[in-house]
Amino acid sequence: MDARQFEEFGKAAIDFISNYTENLRERDVLPSVEPGYLSKLMPNEAPRQAESWQDVLKDVERLILPGMTHWNSPQFHAYYPAGNSYPGIVGEMLSAGFGCIGFSWMSSPACTELEIITMNWLGKMLGLPKEFLNCSDGPGGGVIQGSASEATLVGLLAAKEKTTRRIKSLHPDLDEGIIKAKLVAYTSDQANSSVERAGLLGSVPMRLLPTDDKCRLRGYTLLEAMKKDEEAGLIPCYVVANLGTTGTCAFDVLDELGPICNENNLWLHVDAAYAGSAFVCPEYRYLMSGINYVDSFNFNPHKWLLVNFDCSAMWVKNAGYLIDAFNVDRIYLAHDKQGQALDYRHWQIPLGRRFRALKLWFVLRLYGIEGLQNHIRRMVKLAHQFENFVNSDDRFEIVTEVSLGLVCFRMKGDNSLTRELLDRLMKRKRIYTIAANYKDQLIVRFVVCSRMCEEKDIEFAWNEISSQATEILIVSRNQTARMFENGELPYENLNGKMEERQR
Amino acid sequence: MDARQFEEFGKAAIDFISNYTENLRERDVLPSVEPGYLSKLMPNEAPRQAESWQDVLKDVERLILPGMTHWNSPQFHAYYPAGNSYPGIVGEMLSAGFGCIGFSWMSSPACTELEIITMNWLGKMLGLPKEFLNCSDGPGGGVIQGSASEATLVGLLAAKEKTTRRIKSLHPDLDEGIIKAKLVAYTSDQANSSVERAGLLGSVPMRLLPTDDKCRLRGYTLLEAMKKDEEAGLIPCYVVANLGTTGTCAFDVLDELGPICNENNLWLHVDAAYAGSAFVCPEYRYLMSGINYVDSFNFNPHKWLLVNFDCSAMWVKNAGYLIDAFNVDRIYLAHDKQGQALDYRHWQIPLGRRFRALKLWFVLRLYGIEGLQNHIRRMVKLAHQFENFVNSDDRFEIVTEVSLGLVCFRMKGDNSLTRELLDRLMKRKRIYTIAANYKDQLIVRFVVCSRMCEEKDIEFAWNEISSQATEILIVSRNQTARMFENGELPYENLNGKMEERQR
């Protein structure tokens, strides 16, 4: 493909993206395909000869789009948002166009330096303590990771190395392997699966501690767990506090956890994957009270700050601990500015790294701080619009307090009603929501995700939910009535009974 | 930014990329900036108000390009190539445009299915044994990782879990932590730094075993090391064989290592990061003889197969071991096709994943198998053109046999001459090469990297190298002559002497 063809293809792809994005409302948010659909439509082998870009682009429309879950659709209310915006997309394009691999300063100075600068900008926008910023004196700084999973693992590995060295200096005769086998880490039972996974990958047991009635990890719970482990001869080393949990967007109590961690030499990492973006608005910063106690802080601009995946922002108070844990140098990586310049390869799991700062820079400049604040505030407002719909309908209840863009609700009564609601929504594919558990209750998580979501989309979603609830209750009432007439069992056994009848 | 502005901005960016790429020869391959250059040119904070895309794009030219190391320049001969091509760039654009996060089948069926299909295509193109392919019966399959570093770590973690379970089943009373503290892994002293790092991150000592005179890890070396460790009560669990090492593109002897690993329950992982791409040409497949013994195989299409970073292709014979090591499920990740469909989140370190298969698909279709074979063959031919230049000049010597696109050479005589050559090339910024060590010799690694590299670029590089050698030898001869006249010390102390004179 020569440059002229690329220009045609690339511009056609730009139109394709624009057209796709602007017309997302016309597509079902969920696809109607079964596992294996695509292999039935494609050849078993790559073509021997080059094909034309026109054919490939047609196949994206014909084969790929029907199998997509549309994360940027205004009808996508599942998980948390996948950040996306036009400036971010162009940033990603340019990064691909340059194709540099910024593992060291020398391997691409602009790649490293723009990352330092944009991470300072972003840290200031969030109101992070100065010690986290590269532009302050001291050993702190920010880095763009690929995902919150990696940030949590990086924190754990640094904590592991730091603790091992500390114990080793206190007890020089202890074997390192034995020390490492005694380490233990903590988080809440509401933490994202990636936190438990970091423990698994890093070979440190990750205790999922119980939370209070607001789904928050409290200081006394941590203290109790530490005490028990210490009595068993184990060594507490790492705590992951969650600011905005995946299930209900709850906030662990940093003000309680922080002092405990600092006094007991535990590395305190904050996973604010979703909620961190809200801190660009000063009115939400109370939610990170206690941040001054924290060793590392991470949130995902690729979730709620309009930067497309992947761009996970992590700051540490002392980058020296990462370098201690990760530094493996070779002659071919050496360069004559070493020592003067920062080599990000020591801050992360992989060696290679893309020029991800470009897209962050584009988003920050083309939205501006106020544009991003407006975006967050608008999303939160839409969540409250949805909350009002729920509250106005007697058949539903809000389960946990609405938190940022997340509304957790359910149908009153037995969990089977909410289960049926979720199943129907999923089958109809008009909106996408997912389930969570709160205590013994099954709940629907409704998140305002797409930057294109508007009041009319919230209305659309509510109409869909409310009309399905009506149908569920009609069916349920009719069945119950019939069962009473026939002297059958009441509601609980409904599914089993229905199967029996069908036989 | 609305859709119309995006179309303008995106199309301007396409022209920018095309213009940048086609005119790379006019720029020095290395930048002339000092650490900290960019922060002097930029504001300390993000703008409050949105700026215009025209200003941002101008700043890319004005601020970013002067600080770039141009990995795709035909004068870039350092490291190994960073894959890049027009089709790959457009694939990355579309992936950013869709912005889906494919951690489970349901979260984006097309994202998972296209990955399965393209990885089957690619596996067939390389002539991998059928057991590695998802389209064969059995538990094998391919997955796109972000980097070879991650693939090596994924292999290690799977090996660790598998071995721990095996030992635990033999000795149920042994503590898991104690078993894990006894595990040990092996690779060659020529392995990429990321292999040693995988050991560090996974808390398994990674032994860097000595290689033979062709820089290859041999079976007897592995056996000896295993024996020693077993005698010390340790448990060998993982071997990383290198096909195409970073230093000299050497190939470990899989035919010897394989049977030893299989007989002793060691997981054998192959890191063919660079060289793997060559296996699309049947004439190079002899270099992977012994692949049938392997448990996991990885190479980087983002190195030499024209797919832009990141796209690291990994195949495993039994994906069950990855899932055992990584599976941490949650209700919010559940979907009703589980069991029928593949959830790639269990195959990798992070939870989230981009739609990376798109760019691989685009490259495979828009080059075709033959186009990619031609690309590899052309690069190898250019390496031999360069080799001929070296061989035709008495002042130089080829150090290790030319291997694929890599030529390792040096100036005859003392290492200080080659050191001086490397320093001069680096300062002049016309071509970019890096150093490596071979035994006690300092060598220059010259790699044919850019897909745009042509005969004239090889000539350009050779003229640069050869003219610098001439200057070095003239300076050196003059200085030696002067020193003899003055009755001074011979060559070794030259630098110290010169400094003294300057004072």
pLDDT greater than 50 at residue B495:
no
Number of domains in chain A: 1
Span B9-59, pLDDT tens digits: 999 999 999 999 999 999 999 999 999 999 999 999 999 999 999 999 999
Neighbour tally for A81: CB within 10 Å: 28
Please give the structure tokens belonging to residue B160: 């660790």
Q: Whose CA is closest to A366, among B88, B68, B15, B8? A: B8
Identify the residue with better confidence: B326 or B232.
B232
Contact B67/A109, CB-based, under 8 Å? yes
Please give the residue of chain A at the shortest CA–CA distance from B53: A366
Predicted local distance difference test score (pLDDT) of residue A158: 94
C-alpha distances out from residue B208 to B188, B221, B385, Å = 5, 11, 34
- Return the HEC string of A60-76: HHHHHHHHCCCCCCCCE
Pairing of strands A406-411, A396-403: antiparallel
For all residues of chain A together, what is the average pLDDT?
Answer: 93
**Residue in this structure with the two tokens 């295509």, named with its chain if needed:** B121
pLDDT greater than 90 at residue A136:
no
Q: What residues does A240 pair with on adjacent strands?
A: A269
- In terms of phi and psi (left: phi > 0; alpha: psi -120 to 50; beta: otherwise), the region of B53 is alpha
Predicted local distance difference test score (pLDDT) of residue B496: 41
Please give the residue of chain B at the shortest CA–CA distance from A340: B35
Among B22, B201, B332, the residue with its CB nearest the CB of A349 is B201
Q: Cis (ω within 30 of 0) for the bond into B2?
A: no
Contact B14/A149, CB-based, under 8 Å? no
Identify the residue with better confidence: A346 or A299.
A299
Among A310, A328, A331, the residue with its CB nearest the CB of B200 is A328
Among A1, A18, A68, the residue with its CB nearest the CB of B7 is A18
- For residue B117, list chain A residues with Cβ-Cβ distance below 8 A: 38-39, 42
- The whole-angstrom distance between B150's CA and the closest CA on chain A is 6
Mean per-residue pLDDT, A10-31: 97
Predicted local distance difference test score (pLDDT) of residue B494: 44
What letter does residue B98 receive in the DSSP assignment?
A: H
pLDDT greater than 70 at residue A381:
yes
Please give the residue of chain B at the shortest CA–CA distance from A9: B90
Q: Which domain holds residue A297?
A: 100-355
Does A282 contact chain B (CB < 8 Å)?
A: no
Share of chain A above pLDDT 90, in %: 84
Q: Is residue A74 part of a domain?
A: no
pLDDT greater than 90 at residue B146:
yes
Mean per-residue pLDDT, A490-498: 45
Among A10, A35, A203, the residue with its CB nearest the CB of B90 is A10
- The whole-angstrom distance between A479's CA and the closest CA on chain B is 26
- For residue B351, list chain A residues with Cβ-Cβ distance below 8 A: 147-149, 192-194, 197
Q: Is residue A372 part of a domain?
A: no
Contact B94/A368, CB-based, under 8 Å? no
Distance separating alpha carbons of residues B464 and B77, to the nearest angstrom: 13
Please give the structure tokens belonging to residue A362: 């584009």
Q: Whose CA is closest to B72, among B456, B450, B429, B453? A: B450
pLDDT greater than 80 at residue B491:
no
Burial class of residue B483 (count of CB atoms within 10 Å of its CB; 0-12, 13-18, 19+): middle
Predicted local distance difference test score (pLDDT) of residue B176: 85
* Contact in structure between B108 and A89 (CB atoms under 8 Å): no
Q: Is residue A247 part of a domain?
A: yes
Please give the residue of chain A at the shortest CA–CA distance from B192: A330
Distance separating alpha carbons of residues B443 and B439, to the nearest angstrom: 10
Predicted local distance difference test score (pLDDT) of residue A479: 82
* Contact in structure between B266 and B239 (CB atoms under 8 Å): yes
Q: Is residue A12 part of a domain?
A: no
* Contact in structure between A16 and A65 (CB atoms under 8 Å): no
Mean per-residue pLDDT, B111-131: 97
Per-residue confidence at A480, pLDDT binned at 50, 70, 90? confident
Contact B369/A5, CB-based, under 8 Å? no
Mean per-residue pLDDT, B414-426: 96
CATH of the domain at A183: 3.40.640.10
Predicted local distance difference test score (pLDDT) of residue B162: 94
Predicted local distance difference test score (pLDDT) of residue A330: 65
Please give the structure tokens belonging to residue B379: 């690069």
Q: Is residue A237 part of a domain?
A: yes
Among B89, B98, B350, the residue with its CB nearest the CB of A147 is B350
Among B64, B71, B113, the residue with its CB nearest the CB of A37 is B113
pLDDT greater than 70 at residue B329:
no
Predicted local distance difference test score (pLDDT) of residue B367: 98
- The whole-angstrom distance between A346's CA and the closest CA on chain B is 10
SS3 B286: helix
Mean per-residue pLDDT, A216-237: 98
- The whole-angstrom distance between B481's CA and the closest CA on chain A is 31
Q: What residues does A410 pair with on adjacent strands?
A: A397
Report, in angstroms and rounded to the nearest whole number, the Rg of chain B calculated over CA atoms. 25
Please give the structure tokens belonging to residue B394: 């008495």
* Contact in structure between A91 and B13 (CB atoms under 8 Å): no
Q: pTM of the entire structure?
A: 0.94
Q: Is residue B328 part of a domain?
A: yes
Span A163-186, pLDDT tens digits: 999 999 999 999 888 899 899 999
Q: Is residue A313 part of a domain?
A: yes
Predicted local distance difference test score (pLDDT) of residue A501: 38
pLDDT greater than 90 at residue A301:
yes
Span B288-311, pLDDT tens digits: 999 999 999 999 999 999 999 999
Burial class of residue B486 (count of CB atoms within 10 Å of its CB; 0-12, 13-18, 19+): exposed
Share of chain A above pLDDT 70, in %: 95
For all residues of chain B together, what is the average pLDDT?
Answer: 93
Span A406-422, pLDDT tens digits: 999 999 999 999 999 99
C-alpha distances out from residue B6 to A11, A372, A496, Å = 11, 18, 55
Q: Is residue B258 part of a domain?
A: yes
Interface of A with B in 306-365 (CB under 8 A): 308-310, 325-326, 328-334, 336-337, 340-341, 349-352, 354, 358, 361-362, 364-365
Share of chain B above pLDDT 90, in %: 84
pLDDT greater than 80 at residue B360:
yes
Distance separating alpha carbons of residues B66 and A90, to the nearest angstrom: 20
Residues contacting A75, CB < 8 A, separation 6+: A25, A29, A430, A431, A432, A450, A457, A460, A461
- For residue B46, list chain A residues with Cβ-Cβ distance below 8 A: 118, 121-122, 124-125, 364-365, 368-369
